[in-house]
Amino acid sequence: MSAGLDRIDLKMLRLLQKNGRLTNAELASLADVSPATCHRRTQRLFDDGYIKTVRAMVQPQMVDRAALVMVGVVLDRSTPESFAQFEQAVSKLSFILDCNLVAGDFDYFLKIRVRDMADFNRIHGSQLIALPGVRQTRTFFVMKEVVDNAPLDF
Amino acid sequence: MSAGLDRIDLKMLRLLQKNGRLTNAELASLADVSPATCHRRTQRLFDDGYIKTVRAMVQPQMVDRAALVMVGVVLDRSTPESFAQFEQAVSKLSFILDCNLVAGDFDYFLKIRVRDMADFNRIHGSQLIALPGVRQTRTFFVMKEVVDNAPLDF
DNA sequence: CTAATTATGGAAGATTCTTTCATGTCGGCA
DNA sequence: TGCCGACATGAAAGAATCTTCCATAATTAG
Do A78 and A135 reside in the same domain of the chain?
yes
Spell out the residues 6+ positions from residue B91 whose beta carbon is closer than 8 angstroms to its own: A146, A147, B99
Q: What is the pLDDT averaged over residues A31-41?
A: 96
Do A36 and A72 reside in the same domain of the chain?
no
Q: What is the pLDDT of residue B1?
A: 55
Query: Nearest to residue A116, comparing CAs of A61, A58, A55?
Result: A61
Residue contact B18–A58, C-beta within 8 A: no
* Residue B33 placed within a domain: yes
Do A66 and A24 reside in the same domain of the chain?
no
Do A41 and A66 reside in the same domain of the chain?
no
- State chain A's mean pLDDT as an integer: 96
Q: What is the pLDDT averaged over residues B93-116?
A: 98
Three-state SS for B2?
coil
Three-state SS for A133?
coil
* Residue A154 placed within a domain: no
* A127 touches B: beta carbon within 8 Å: no
**Residue B74's CATH number:** 3.30.70.920
Do B40 and B85 reside in the same domain of the chain?
no
- What stretches of chain A adopt beta strand conformation (E)? 51-58, 67-75, 96-103, 108-114, 134-147
- Written as one letter, the residue type at B107 is D
Domain span at residue B106? 60-141
Residue contact B62–A2, C-beta within 8 A: yes
Residue numbers 59-118 of B with CB closer than 7 A to any atom of strand D:
none
Give percent above pLDDT 90 in chain A.
Answer: 97
Could you report the per-residue pLDDT of B16-54, keeping only the tens digit for each?
999 999 999 999 999 999 999 999 999 999 999 999 999
Q: What distance in Å separates the CA atoms of residue B57 and residue B45, rounded to the nearest whole number?
A: 21
Could you report the per-residue pLDDT of A88-131, keeping only the tens digit for each?
999 999 999 999 999 999 999 999 999 999 999 999 999 999 99
Q: Which of residues 31-90 of A touch B (CB under 8 A)?
A: 49-60, 62-65, 68, 70, 87, 90
Give percent above pLDDT 90 in chain B.
Answer: 97
Do A42 and A65 reside in the same domain of the chain?
no
Q: Given pLDDT bands bounded at 50, 70 and 90, which one contains residue B4? A: confident
Within 10 A of A13 (CB to CB), how many other CB atoms are there? Answer: 23
What are the residues facing B111 on neighbouring strands?
B70, B98
Q: Largest Cα–Cα distance of chain B, in whole Å?
A: 58
- Angle, helices B35-47 vs B7-18, to 10°: value is 80
Q: Work out if A41's Cβ lies within 7 angstroms of strand C.
A: yes
Q: What is the pLDDT of residue A2?
A: 61
Do B69 and B32 reside in the same domain of the chain?
no
Do A30 and A77 reside in the same domain of the chain?
no
Give percent above pLDDT 70 in chain A.
Answer: 98
- State chain B's mean pLDDT as an integer: 96
Do B117 and B75 reside in the same domain of the chain?
yes
Do A73 and A38 reside in the same domain of the chain?
no
Do B24 and B73 reside in the same domain of the chain?
no
- Identify all chain A residues contacting B152, using CB atoms and an 8 Å cutoff: 58, 60, 63, 65, 97, 113
Q: What is the pLDDT averaged over residues A71-97?
A: 98
Do B41 and B79 reside in the same domain of the chain?
no
* B103 touches A: beta carbon within 8 Å: yes
**Residue B31's CATH number:** 1.10.10.10
